Amino acid sequence: MSDPAATDRPDYARLFRLDARTAVVVGGGSGIGRESALALAAQGARVIVADRDRAAAEATCAIGAAAGQSVDDAPGWGDLESYELDILDEAAVQRAADELGVVDALVVTAGVNVRKRILDYSGEEFDRVVGLNLRAHFDLIRAFGRGMAQRGRGSIIAFSSMRAVLVEPGQSVYAATKAGLVQLLRTAAAELGPSGVRCNAIAPGVVDTPLTTQIKSNTEWANAYAHANALHRWAHPSELAGAVVFLASDASSYVTGSQLFVDAGWTAIDGRFDPPA
């Protein structure tokens, strides 16, 4: 007996494949951005590695090219191309959206944090964190989201943080921008959803990146963070790449307006103390 739903069922063997699609990874020159770019390319996407550091973007492309050549039986790696982009320059962001043409997925990993208590924060530091973590994302969503809406498809993925819901002393402005980014993406999901554009956030826990160098340099601090989650360890940037591929691919075709936590259970458990009973 034939399955009446068979004609609507996707090819599950290729559910995560991104062949013939273009992804732009902002901040792709290092850390989570680099691993995201490599993972997307491994699924067949043409990846534009955008970073204000052109040399770092080119290094990501070189790593991807070498990895693609070393795998003979893979379904096929996509090409990686470097693109110099300062997302604090609104005109440059719009120019990138115009020059890069059809973009199926926009992944934004760039971010900054100034760890200071509120009474010690300066106005300049506030503006710097808000400028990159929120305003620049706003500009990227507008610039790339417009073309996606016109074409009737697209996926916008940005990185919030577990700090969007859990705070600690010294994280005021960073946490505020990450919570604001989630609401910005949710609103974009509501506004662009009828045009076929999905918008989602990924919220990492503690990840070994340049942004967390200050913590990693303090053994007591680093160990405390490791033991605050259920897996009792830090994440490698590569462990965030799977979430990026999921949200960029058809595997998440019905997912929008969501925040996906990749935090080893930090937000699910107390984590600070293991009671005797």
Strand order across the 105-108 sheet: 80-84, 46-51, 22-26, 105-108, 154-159, 197-204, 259-262
**How far apart, in whole angstroms, are the C-alpha atoms of residue 269 and residue 264?**
10
Q: Give me the residues of the chain with pLDDT under 50, please.
A: none
The per-residue pLDDT for range 125-168, each reduced to its tens digit, is 999 999 999 999 999 999 999 999 999 999 999 999 999 999 99
**Residue type for position 55:** A
- Angstrom CA distances, 114 to 15, 173, 223, stand at 39, 8, 21
**How far apart, in whole angstroms, are the C-alpha atoms of residue 198 and residue 148?**
10
State the pLDDT at residue 5.
62
| Class of domain 18-263 (CATH, top level) | alpha beta
State the pLDDT at residue 275.
62
Q: Which position among 121, 174, 225, 254 bears the catalytic label?
A: 174
State the pLDDT at residue 24.
98
Which residues 6+ apart lie within 8 Å of 24 measured at CB?
47, 48, 50, 83, 96, 100, 103, 105, 106, 107, 144
Domain locations along the chain:
18-263
In terms of Cβ atoms closer than 10 Å to its own Cβ (0-12, 13-18, 19+), residue 85 is buried
State the pLDDT at residue 8.
80
**How far apart, in whole angstroms, are the C-alpha atoms of residue 21 and residue 36?**
15
Confirm whether 174 is a catalytic residue: yes
Mean pLDDT of the chain: 93
